[in-house]
Structure 1
């Protein structure tokens, strides 16, 4: 793609002139640097005569250049009308059918490319997982002679994240059906479910920890029902004891990549997977509903809070603990600067905590997902503090917080944390009961007005503004 091509891509987009100038400047300087690098490489002083990084304009370009396959335009068109995951399923199916492959490509090569491209689309072409996280995709035989699909996972799959790594198996099953292959039949030759149980526990104990703790029966249930074989390469120098020399598993060592897909993906993110399966009408995965589910626990069944404390890096702040008084109160909603995985807190919190937290700080949270980014919202509840003189004060605003900051003896309540309903929907998490907030009060007031005073203008004004304490007492 040339510099002119890059600039022409945004020519039809309405934007201020300085935006266009800024983008053109970035594009021009990037290509200038690229040309200088190419000139330097051409001297062959370096071991390689080519520039390894490639310039890509968008997701479609990244995926196409990552796999050196001409799919940029069709993918771009798909993304206009579909989400990235549905686009991944559609395009991976077309690749499996041979639409973008070389004429002499084998079915195995087509399926390998289809799975990798599908994962690249889901991960937006910014992780190494599609190239190095998938070791190989093979067609193997069950004991009855039928062909099935096997996906071998390597350690770099971790970069894809739990949900995306599990979606890899959905994509693999999708292309398996396209190719007309049979389902994987677990335990056809050996006790493969038992191997995964033993292997996962050894990995937990000797190699590394997972994000979730899962039950043995869930492991057995998943491996027994997977329509595509979950295989992997060995990643750590620890061997299983009771399940060695198995027919379909090449190594006796633990396979960290495959175990992470199983533990943190298929089981740990089963709720999110079920949501996607339902959304895209994928069949054959209903058995995920039968899982007992994963819990975020530590060693010896410690609760999630204790596990998080073990993971805290020395020097990092812990603002509050789950289900403890004094922390944040959940407030459903969103502001103009919050949204998906971006929560809001009152800016005075930063002041009284000596700016331990700032705009853009990445935080670990308990619900609805694993992490989020902080934004400041001054329309939610402020902290309540106890001063050195014994007075309990609700901070009014940032100015008030700065004034009394040095007199604070203890923070009794950190105020609201604003989390959107969309975050719960995206994570398929259960909604947590909210505190009694203004929205509840307004709905109750609305009912009273409709029932007793439908024409009372004085009461009606409070449907759009918060009353003062005196006004609240008057109308109560």
Structure 2
């Protein structure tokens, strides 16, 4: 039997027990805090039943959860809800305040909706908002990004800039007009960050960086986070530090530049004039009507002596991508056949981190015995495909060459 919400009785009872036990746990935690052994006298994290409640609890403003729920009931997408909620806050329909206050609240809430209220990006990934003056006297909006914006992913980092642009336009704040010196400072800073401070997943061409900084109507700023300093463009007017700011590199490179195609779809959906983004979009070339991927060597850039390289980019005999899932796979969890683990001298164990050519990010290895396993050539010249890990263990002493590593399961 199911109720009017489509939940069966057993599941409903299970959820009820969870809520009851959660209440008991919170009561115990509150009584523990009352003993004054902790800096705070109350439990900081409040229970939230859905995305709307989480967003209001993390970034606010009070009452916004009802607006979010009403938009969800209309079947609108997460990106559309973020845009509509931002417009309402910036228009002063939810809270009152000056331009900077309204913009800050609108953007933080919008990013909170995009990240579904489970990441620190809207609170710690965006550290500050300022309304400043251009050299010609006009005003512009500067948004300070910090390292934790990386947790939101490149798309959300870029959309945070889009939302900031929507809010500043609605409130009549002018656009950012950087000088040539300032643009070159950004370029040097990003180069230093990518080569000395940390690793960037994507480093766009220098001209693309110049184009983004020059054309973006919002100033992408950030607090100094690295010990490394710029050497050429020091003491640049408008930037109070010579230290490298990680936030600008992450948002410009891994956000706007790398995710330009996705951002372009979003700005067209909300009818925002960002025509300047078109030159940054990298379109895959098609030959004969079909996409032909080329070997990507970037995953080998940081290879360390002693680390095993199982296959070179797009080489024959390497892992074959296969789409599917197990209970152990997910965003970072990938699966290979357990026979492959043994045939690779047991180097790949469960939980081992491995860098892969495509999709390009690191993954954690898990086993799956229902995908295609490896194919090996034995010392007697025969070719065998072990179907189980037990068979693979017996074959290890007799293997002359691995002809095929098997499938790599990606969900």
Q: For 1:26, which of 15, 18, 21 is the aligned residue?
A: 18
Q: For 1:261, which of 248, 251, 254 is the aligned residue?
A: 251
- SS state of the match for residue 301, structure 2? helix
Give how far 1:98 is off: 1.4
**Unmatched tracts of structure 1, length 5 or more:** 1-9, 295-301, 421-476
CA distance 1:28–1:410, shift in 2 (3 Å): farther
Matched, 1:306 2:300: yes
The whole-number CA distance in structure 1 between the counterparts of 2:321 and 2:39 is: 56
Equivalent pair of 1:95/1:114 in contact (CA under 8 Å): yes
CA distance 1:79–1:386, shift in 2 (3 Å): farther
Matched, 1:177 2:166: no
Equivalent pair of 1:137/1:152 in contact (CA under 8 Å): yes
The whole-number CA distance in structure 2 between the counterparts of 1:378 and 1:47 is: 50
CA distance 1:257–1:11, shift in 2 (3 Å): farther
CA distance 1:246–1:340, shift in 2 (3 Å): closer
Equivalent pair of 2:194/2:203 in contact (CA under 8 Å): no
The whole-number CA distance in structure 2 between the counterparts of 1:274 and 1:368 is: 21
For 2:316, the equivalent position in structure 1 comes to 325
- SS state of the match for residue 309, structure 1? coil
- SS state of the match for residue 407, structure 2? strand
Q: For 1:411, which of 381, 402, 406 is the aligned residue?
A: 402
Aligned pairs for 1:61-460 (under 5 A) are: 61-69=53-61, 70-80=63-73, 81-101=75-95, 103=96, 105-187=97-179, 191-278=181-268, 280-291=269-280, 303-310=297-304, 319-331=310-322, 334=324, 345-346=336-337, 348-350=339-341, 352-353=343-344, 354=346, 356=348, 364-371=355-362, 381-395=372-386, 404=395, 407-417=398-408
**Corresponding pairs, count:** 394
The whole-number CA distance in structure 2 between the counterparts of 1:393 and 1:136 is: 61
Equivalent pair of 2:299/2:355 in contact (CA under 8 Å): no
**Per-residue CA distance 1:205-256 (angstroms, 9 max, x = gap):** 4322222232211111110110111111111233323333333222222111
The whole-number CA distance in structure 2 between the counterparts of 1:19 and 1:261 is: 42
Give how far 1:50 is off: 1.7
Structure with higher helix content: 1
The whole-number CA distance in structure 2 between the counterparts of 1:212 and 1:335 is: 27
The whole-number CA distance in structure 2 between the counterparts of 1:400 and 1:18 is: 43
**Per-residue CA distance 1:19-54 (angstroms, 9 max, x = gap):** 333332222222111111112222334332121122
Equivalent pair of 1:218/1:292 in contact (CA under 8 Å): no
The whole-number CA distance in structure 1 between the counterparts of 2:216 and 2:45 is: 37
The whole-number CA distance in structure 2 between the counterparts of 1:206 and 1:251 is: 18
RMSD: 3.4
The whole-number CA distance in structure 2 between the counterparts of 1:413 and 1:228 is: 50
The whole-number CA distance in structure 2 between the counterparts of 1:355 and 1:205 is: 30
The whole-number CA distance in structure 2 between the counterparts of 1:28 and 1:193 is: 57
Equivalent pair of 1:335/1:377 in contact (CA under 8 Å): no
The whole-number CA distance in structure 1 between the counterparts of 2:232 and 2:257 is: 24
Q: For 1:44, which of 36, 55, 61 is the aligned residue?
A: 36
- SS state of the match for residue 377, structure 2? strand
Give how far 1:395 is off: 4.1
CA distance 1:253–1:213, shift in 2 (3 Å): same
The whole-number CA distance in structure 1 between the counterparts of 2:117 and 2:310 is: 35
**Per-residue CA distance 1:45-84 (angstroms, 9 max, x = gap):** 4332121122112221111101242211221232341222
TM-score (structure 1 length as normaliser) = 0.72
CA distance 1:243–1:71, shift in 2 (3 Å): same
Computing the radius of gyration from Cα coordinates, the structure with the larger value is: 1
**Per-residue CA distance 1:268-297 (angstroms, 9 max, x = gap):** 33233334334x244332333313869xxx
TM-score (structure 2 length as normaliser) = 0.82
